[in-house]
Structure 1
Amino acid sequence: MILDILFPNRCIHCNQIIDGNLLVCNLCFEHIKFTHFSYLENNYIKEKCKLLFPVENAFALMQFEKENLSRKIVHELKYKSREKVGKIIADWTSERLDFKNEKPDVLVSVPLHPKKLKERGYNQLHLFTETLSEFYNIPFSHDLIKRNHYSKAQALKDKQHRLETENTFSITQPISGKHILLIDDVFTTGNTLSTIAWEVLKAGNNKISVLVMAIDV
C-alpha cells in the first residue's frame, strides 16, 4: 500500500497514474497497433513463415514498428524486469485469437540459453505461454526445445547477423504426430522460429503453427 503511494503504477506511454494491473491507460491503449490477423486465414506472418518452413497457421498480435507503442510494450517485458507484462499481453491475445477447429496440441515457447536466463532472471515467454495454456486448456512445454549456444539479444544484432543461423536448437524428448504452436516475442527475419521448426519437423510427423506477440513490419 505504501509503495503504491510512493511509487504508483504509471502508463508506459504518457506517464499517467493507472491501476496496478494495467500497462497503459485507456487513451494510450488506442494507440497500440494490433494486427487484426485471422489465425486460420492467410496473413502477413503466415506468408513470411511459408518462405522458411511448412506452417499450418500463424498469428501476430501487434505490429512492431520503430518507436511505436508495441515496441515499448515488448521492451518493458524483456528488458525492464516486468515479467507480469507477459500476462497482460496474453490477455490481449486471448481476446483476439480464435483457434476454432485448428486447436494445437501443445504450446512450446522459444527457450533462452541458461546463461541468458540467469542474466534476465526469467524467460519473457513463460508467463505469456502459461496464461494462454490456462485460457485455451492446451498443455504447454518450456523444455521441449533446448538452446545450445549463447548469443547476444536479437535486438542488438545488425540485420546481417540476424539472418545468420548463429543459434542452434535441439529437441530434448521424442515427439511425433503433434500439432505444435511455437511461441516467440517478436518475428523479425523468422530465423529463430525456422531453425526450431525444422528440428520439430525432423523429429517426427509433426505440424507447426506460430504465435508471436509482435511482427516487425
Structure 2
Amino acid sequence: MKDIFLDLLFPDRCLDCSKIIESNLIVCNMCFEKIQFTHFDYFGENILKEICKTLFPVENAYALIQFEKESVSRKIIHELKYKNREKTGEILANWVTERIDFKNSKPDLIVSIPLHKKKLKERGYNQLHLFAETLSEFYNIPFDHKVILRSSYSKAQALKDKKHRLNTGNLFSMNKNISGKHVLLVDDVFTTGNTIATAAWEILKTGNNKVSVLVMAIDK
C-alpha cells in the first residue's frame, strides 16, 4: 500500500522529457527513438574493435549506444552512474540481449571493471554489477566481479581532462587466478580505451586467456 501511495505522489518520469512512464522504463516511447544505438555486429568489425586491436589482443567488441554530447544516451549513463539509478543497468542489459546472440561462441566468464573500494563506498553500488548480473542470467554465463581489483582511487573519468584519462598506471591487479578462459570484459563508457586495455592485459598475462569487450556506450 505504501509503494502504491509513493508511486502516486512520485511517479516515474522519462529522464529526457519528464513524461510519466511505467516503473520498468527509463524513457518514454518517443524519447526512446532518440537513443543513438550503434547497431554494431559483435562478431564483426566496428570502430570499437578497431581501437581495441591497437591496444591489446581482442576477440570481439561491442558498444550498445553512442555517448554523444547533450544526448539521451549520455543522460542515461549519467543517471546510472551519478543519480543512484542502479536499475538502469538492468534495462541496458536487456537492450543488449535483444541485439546479441552469442550462438555457440559465448564467452566463459563475465568480468566487470571494478571501482576502488573508497569509490564503491561513496557511490553505494558499482554501476556495472546489475548490468553484468542480468547478462549473466540471460546468457547463462558466470559473472565474477572479484577477479580484478582497482589499485588506486581517482576522480570520475568524466571529470578528467584527456591527459589524465591516458594516465592509468598500475590501475588494476588480479585478485583471482584464471586460465584458459574467454573473458567478456564489461565497462560503462569507452573513451580512450586505456582503462579497459589495462584491465585486459592483466587478464591476458595471467594465463592462456582471451578477452572480448562489451561496453554500454562508446564516446567516439
TM-score normalized by the length of structure 2: 0.97
Q: Which amino acid aligns with 1:73?
A: I
Asked whether the equivalents of residues 8 and 17 of structure 1 are also in contact (C-alpha less than 8 Å), the reply is: yes
Identity %: 71
1:140 match: secondary structure: coil
Aligned-pair distance for 1:5?
0.8
> CA separation in 2, counterparts of 1:8 and 1:156?
31
Q: Which amino acid aligns with 2:8?
A: I
Partner of 1:121: 124
Q: Are positions 1:148 and 2:144 aligned together?
A: no
Asked whether the equivalents of residues 9 and 20 of structure 1 are also in contact (C-alpha less than 8 Å), the reply is: yes
Q: Structure 1, unaligned stretches of length 5 or more? A: none
Tell me the C-alpha RMSD between the 2 structures.
0.8
Partner of 2:212: 209
Asked whether the equivalents of residues 13 and 24 of structure 1 are also in contact (C-alpha less than 8 Å), the reply is: yes
Partner deviation per Cα, 1:33-62 (whole Å, 9 max, x = no partner)? 000001000111000100100000000000
Partner of 2:99: 96
Partner of 1:47: 50
Runs of 4+ more than 4 Å apart: none
1:98 match: secondary structure: coil
> CA separation in 2, counterparts of 1:18 and 1:66?
24
Q: Structure 2, unaligned stretches of length 5 or more? A: none
1:37 match: secondary structure: coil
Partner of 1:15: 18
> CA separation in 1, counterparts of 2:147 and 2:175?
5
> CA separation in 2, counterparts of 1:108 and 1:138?
10
Asked whether the equivalents of residues 104 and 138 of structure 1 are also in contact (C-alpha less than 8 Å), the reply is: yes
Equivalenced residue count is 217
Q: Are positions 1:58 and 2:61 aligned together?
A: yes
Partner of 2:203: 200
**Corresponding residue to 2:85 among 82, 86, 95:** 82
